Every structure is written in structure tokens, then in C-alpha cells.
């Protein structure tokens, strides 16, 4: 169940989506214009916002920018615009996802679930995480490996923290670009590769002889201590 704020001026679409999302167990609040919607972002603190781009009072992209000025709430944009340029512009303006009109309520429901899953809670972001010999103290912005403090840049720390929060799972480069770089995934793969290799060097390992950081070809990167015990065993 999520608190959904639906900003949509078409009365039929608004009614149909409200009904379907309520039926799916969400608490839905609907607004018909950008400014009243923005007021509700602060007043009702929704878990997710569905923002129609064709609103009567404010241009959709401007509305999105205004919303981003006041809140980090996940936003799914509903739009009839569909060129790649449009989508890039939306993601740059702070949309978490988009659906192209016309879409079904079931499709929107799936996007809502995905966006909420991706959005991490502040509890997770404030935790001290240990992965084998590696400890990441997120509130203090420090990482230690075998009790030695690692000298990491801001980006390397953010990357390592993200991988640590999802330790044991292969994280795709696309997810890293979106979640760590907060950018749309357009040709940024090389950037991820470069930062991973820098991070790997600081962890004292190589791609050929990984310990904690593993590249799964064609899939992504995983931080895990699950191979350390095998290593200890085989060197015994
Ligand atoms: Ca509209």
C-alpha cells in the first residue's frame, strides 16, 4: 500500500486511475492541476506522485522542476510525448520513471511497485554496513578495509556504499548510473567501468583476482564476501 498523489486534468483518466489504484490497495489523492498538486506534495507527503505532463496551468517539465525543488518523492510521469529527447529531458528534470499514454492501470501499478522498491529508505542510507573485512560508515562517510581507512573520492564512496547496501546481488551498470550518478543511462557505461576500476585498486584487488568486487560480464557488478571463505580454505 502506498499513498499515491495523482495529478491529472482529464476527468475520465483521473477517475479510472483513482478507482484502479484504490482497488489495488493504494490510498489515492487526486488533483486536476499542477499548482494544487504541488501543494498536496507538501501537505499530504505522498509515497509516489503520478504527474500528467499536459496540465492546464503549468507546463509539465516546469511542474516537475518545481516539484523537485520541494520534494524527493518518487515521480512517475505520464505523458503522450515519446521521443528519446523528451524522455531524457524528463529524467534530467527529476522524473524517476515515465509511462507513455495510453497505458493501463496494471502497467502503472507495476511501475509504482518498481519505483518504490528502488527508492531506498533513510534507515538504509544511515546504516553502518559490514561486508566481510570491509566496513562502510555512511553517516561518517568513512570506509575501512581490515581496519585501514580507505581514501575514497565522494563518488567512489557513493558507489561503494550503494554496492554494500545491495551486497550479494549483481547490480547492473544502468542501476548504478541512475542511483549513484542520478543520471539517465545514456552512454555512461564507461564512466561506471572507470570508477569501478579505481575502487578496485583502492580495495587492493584486480579484475583478474577479485576478492570483494566482482564483475559479472554482461550483467553488472557485485560486492560480496561469499568467496572469501573459499579463498581462506584453499590457501590453508
Ligand atoms: Ca492532461
Is pLDDT above 80 for 236? Answer: no
Q: Which protein residues have a CB closer than 5 Å to ligand 1 (ion)? A: 9, 52, 54
Of the candidates 32, 5, 19, which has an alpha carbon nearest to the alpha carbon of residue 106? Answer: 19
CA distance 1 to 113: 9
Is pLDDT above 90 for 233? Answer: no
The pLDDT score that the predictor gives to residue 126 is: 78
The chain-wide mean pLDDT, for the chain, equals 88
Could you tell me the distance, in angstroms and rounded to a whole number, from the CA of residue 59 to the centre of ligand 1?
Answer: 10
Could you tell me the distance, in angstroms and rounded to a whole number, from the CA of residue 24 to the centre of ligand 1?
Answer: 23
Could you tell me the distance, in angstroms and rounded to a whole number, from the CA of residue 8 to the centre of ligand 1?
Answer: 6
Cell numbers representing residue 236 in the block: 590453508
Could you tell me the distance, in angstroms and rounded to a whole number, from the CA of residue 64 to the centre of ligand 1?
Answer: 14
pTM score of the predicted model: 0.57
Could you tell me the distance, in angstroms and rounded to a whole number, from the CA of residue 137 to the centre of ligand 1?
Answer: 45
Of the candidates 121, 156, 132, which has an alpha carbon nearest to the alpha carbon of residue 142? Answer: 156
Could you tell me the distance, in angstroms and rounded to a whole number, from the CA of residue 111 to the centre of ligand 1?
Answer: 19
How large is the average pLDDT for residues 58-80?
A: 90
Query: Above pLDDT 70, what percent of the chain?
Result: 92
How would residue 229 be classed by pLDDT, with cut points 50, 70 and 90? low
Lowest mean pLDDT among 7-11, 60-64, 216-220: 216-220
The pLDDT score that the predictor gives to residue 195 is: 94
Lowest mean pLDDT among 11-25, 110-124, 152-166: 110-124
Could you tell me the distance, in angstroms and rounded to a whole number, from the CA of residue 235 to the centre of ligand 1?
Answer: 65
Could you tell me the distance, in angstroms and rounded to a whole number, from the CA of residue 109 to the centre of ligand 1?
Answer: 19
Amino acid at each position: 500500500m502506498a499513498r499515491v498523489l495523482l495529478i491529472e486534468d482529464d476527468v475520465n483518466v483521473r477517475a479510472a486511475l483513482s478507482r484502479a489504484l484504490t482497488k489495488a490497495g493504494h490510498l489515492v489523492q487526486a488533483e486536476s492541476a499542477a499548482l494544487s498538486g504541488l501543494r498536496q506534495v507538501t501537505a499530504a507527503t505522498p509515497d509516489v506522485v503520478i504527474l500528467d505532463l499536459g496540465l492546464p496551468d503549468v507546463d509539465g517539465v516546469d511542474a516537475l522542476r518545481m516539484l523537485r525543488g520541494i520534494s524527493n518523492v518518487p515521480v512517475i510521469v505520464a505523458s503522450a510525448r515519446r521521443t528519446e529527447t523528451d524522455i531524457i529531458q524528463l529524467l534530467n528534470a527529476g522524473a524517476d520513471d515515465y509511462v507513455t499514454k495510453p497505458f493501463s492501470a496494471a502497467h502503472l501499478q507495476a511501475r509504482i511497485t518498481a519505483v518504490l522498491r528502488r527508492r531506498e529508505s533513510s534507515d538504509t542510507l544511515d546504516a553502518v554496513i559490514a561486508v566481510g573485512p570491509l566496513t562502510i560508515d555512511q553517516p561518517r562517510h568513512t570506509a575501512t578495509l581490515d581496519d585501514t581507512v580507505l581514501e575514497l573520492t565522494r563518488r567512489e564512496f557513493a558507489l561503494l556504499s550503494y554496492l554494500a547496501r545491495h551486497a550479494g546481488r549483481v547490480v547492473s551498470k544502468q542501476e548504478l548510473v541512475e542511483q549513484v550518478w542520478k543520471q539517465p543511462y545514456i552512454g555512461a557505461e564507461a564512466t561506471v567501468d572507470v570508477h569501478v576500476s579505481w575502487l578496485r585498486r583502492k580495495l587492493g584487488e584486480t579484475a583478474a583476482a577479485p576478492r570483494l568486487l566482482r564483475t559479472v560480464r554482461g550483467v553488472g557488478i557485485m560486492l560480496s564476501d561469499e568467496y572469501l571463505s573459499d579463498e581462506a580454505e584453499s590457501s590453508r
